[in-house]
Amino acid sequence: MKSIAALQNLVTPWPDGLEPSDAELEAIEWEMPLILAEVDLLDAEIAVLDRAPSELDGQRIRRARRRMLAVRRDLTNQAAAVVGLTGGAA
């Protein structure tokens, strides 16, 4: 029996500089409510992919969509307020 050996390193080394910066982590944290709301909407939509949606499914999808839109609106308003306070271009 002949053994086969890999020619490369078994584990690819993690190069420096690929980790997210503090600003990127802060942006992700700031957007987390929207990310979670989008995941809830996606879960509701996936649940009815292989069957006809019931009335409860429809309510769940509408509720998740409204929540996602409300969170998006709030984050947009917060971003606009920050830009307005810092004197950014409008």
Q: Taking the model in full, what pTM does it have?
A: 0.70
d(C-alpha 19, C-alpha 52), whole Å: 43
Domain that holds residue 31: 22-85
Report if residue 65 sits inside a domain.
yes
Six token digits for residue 38: 């989008």
Residue 49 falls within a domain, yes or no? yes
Q: Which pLDDT does position 34 carry in this prediction?
A: 97
Give the separation between CA 65 and CA 77, rounded to whole angstroms: 18
| pLDDT confidence of residue 19 | 85
What span, in angstroms and rounded, lies between the C-alpha atoms of 11 and 7?
Answer: 12
Q: Is residue 27 part of a domain?
A: yes
Number of separate domains in the chain: 1
The closest alpha carbon to 37, from 66, 78, 80, 77, belongs to 66
pLDDT at res. 5: 59
Tell me the pLDDT of the chain (90 aa) as tens digits: 666 655 555 666 666 678 888 999 999 999 999 999 999 999 999 999 999 999 999 999 999 999 999 999 999 999 999 887 776 555
